[in-house]
Structure 1
Amino acid sequence: MARDLARPVVDLSGNTLAEAVEMLAIPHRRKVALRKLMAAGRAGTPAVRAGLKHADPEVRIACCQVLDHFMDEQALPELAANVSHWHPGVRAWSIHALACDRCKEGTCRPGEDDVIPMVVEALLHDDDRNVRQQAAGMLGPSVLRSEAARAAVQRAHQHDPHPAVRKVAGWWVPGGPRFRKLRT
């Protein structure tokens, strides 16, 4: 018997948003659950905020990805708490959700004065190179507005032990290709 290929394999249309957050913990349902939460937009943020406290780091990562697009001011304390989570993917995505302006839809953006110190700390002191690389990329657009961001990016460019972090930081130092674009 041939399977109807037009029918979705996993249909979450009957599930609540809270159930979709729980399904983020199931690898074969994660993509569909993430799509449902992204499609819900701001209506999904209460469930997504709860997911920032989930025991499974993959759930937290996906919730950070949703909040990266649909930032909710009430989620800022949970996102900030995840910057120091034990899992490097959670740390990297919480930094991204807090610091990236490019992905945001709507007007809620955390203040740079609150976010930059956390991102600087991650860039200069996190043990995981992927977290430091994410932090360098997120601090970059702020180097003209923040002395702390500029100094941290320059230090990482000169002294970080990993070449990928030094490379990303180098994009944002004076004379770097993205720094030049910021000035124009």
Structure 2
Amino acid sequence: MIRSDQIVGSAHTLMRALAPPDDQQHSVTASGLQDLHAGRRVRGASQEDGKTLCRAFRRAARLRTMLGFAQTDNETLVSCLGDRQRAVAAYHALLRRGENALNAIRAGLHHEHPAVREGCCRLLDHLVDTDSMDELIVMADDPDARVRISAFHALACDRCKGDTCAPGADRVLDPALRHLDSDPDPHVRSMAAELVGKFAHTDVRAVAALEASHTRDSSPAVRKKAGWYIPGGTIYERTVPRAPK
């Protein structure tokens, strides 16, 4: 990982480069910036100086990590999703590689580390194809709640996928109903409600399950979200199919 002493000598230059053209010149020396980075108060240093320095360090660290990933194979990048220090850079590197990384991402769904499985579900939210959909459905039963949440989000979210990849009720409604009714984690039940809600206009089982959740779920947040998708709810009413003219 990058060390503070590798960049602190040029931190003042970085701060000037990041500042607006009409910004007043910073009055803090490089040694003072090092004190700021270490959390010590420095005469003449404003709170904005400290914030700008932190941004400069974070940008430099991200750049160093991304450059280091340029020649890294997809399988190694997937394993880095389980490393808190490298997970964000690895995620974006895999996202940029797109379809070329799909095989490694699918394989990552079976990784022993939950954070890797979660990251792969999140990636498939953007990169999913018809071949990956069945694997995402299986991940809705993962033993880790964070993975189940990401899987249900990927199955429910249409913003990042076309209609050709959107799964139908015949594939996803049954597992969504099951988790809405009995998953021990309220965040999973909340995401399941979102997926069930997609079929509230076309399947009576969806409305019945959402009404039961709205009435009986132990979590106020889940009850509220389920209410959005039942008749009279904001999302239900907004998405009522319009009759053809």
Q: TM-score, normalised by structure 1?
A: 0.92
Q: Percent identity?
A: 35
Show the counterpart of 1:158. Answer: 215
| Corresponding position of 1:132 | 189
Q: Residue 144 of structure 1 aligns to a residue in which SS?
A: coil
Contact residue 61 and residue 90 of structure 1 kept, 8 A? yes
Whether the aligned pair in 1 keeps the contact of 2:140 and 2:175 (CA below 8 Å) is: yes
Describe the superposition over 1:126-146 as per-residue Cα deviations: whole angstroms up to 9, x where unpaired: 011010011112222221012
RMSD: 1.8
2:123: which partner in 1? Answer: 66
2: CA distance, partners of 1:72 / 1:42 = 9
CA deviations on 1:148-179 (whole Å, 9 max, x unpaired) are 21111111111111100000001111101111
**Counterpart position of 1:89:** 146
Tell me by how many angstroms 1:79 deviates: 1.8
Give the match for residue 31 of structure 1: 88
Structure of greater Rg: 2
Q: Which moved more, 1:84-93 or 1:105-114?
A: 105-114
Q: 1:22 to 1:106 in 2, by over 3 A?
A: farther
Deviations 1:30-78 (A, max 9, x none): 0001101111222221111000000011111110011111112222332
Contact 2:122 2:150 (8 Å CA) reproduced: yes
TM-score of the aligned structures, taking structure 2 as reference length: 0.70
Indicate conservation of the 8 Å contact 1:95/1:134, yes or no: yes
Tell me the alpha carbon deviations over residues 89-120 of structure 1, each in whole angstroms, 9 at most, x when there is no partner: 11111122223223325732323211111111
Which consecutive residues of structure 1, in runs of 5 or more, have no partner in the other structure? none
Q: Gaps (5+ residues) in structure 2?
A: 11-55
CA contact (8 A) 1:70 1:106 kept: no
- Whether 1:22 and 2:79 are equivalent positions in the alignment is yes
> Relative contact order (C-alpha < 8 Å, sep 6+): which is higher?
1
Structure-1 residue corresponding to 2:158 = 101
Moved over 4 A (4+): 4-7
Instruction: Indicate if the aligned counterparts of 1:72 and 1:108 stay in contact, CA closer than 8 A.
Output: yes
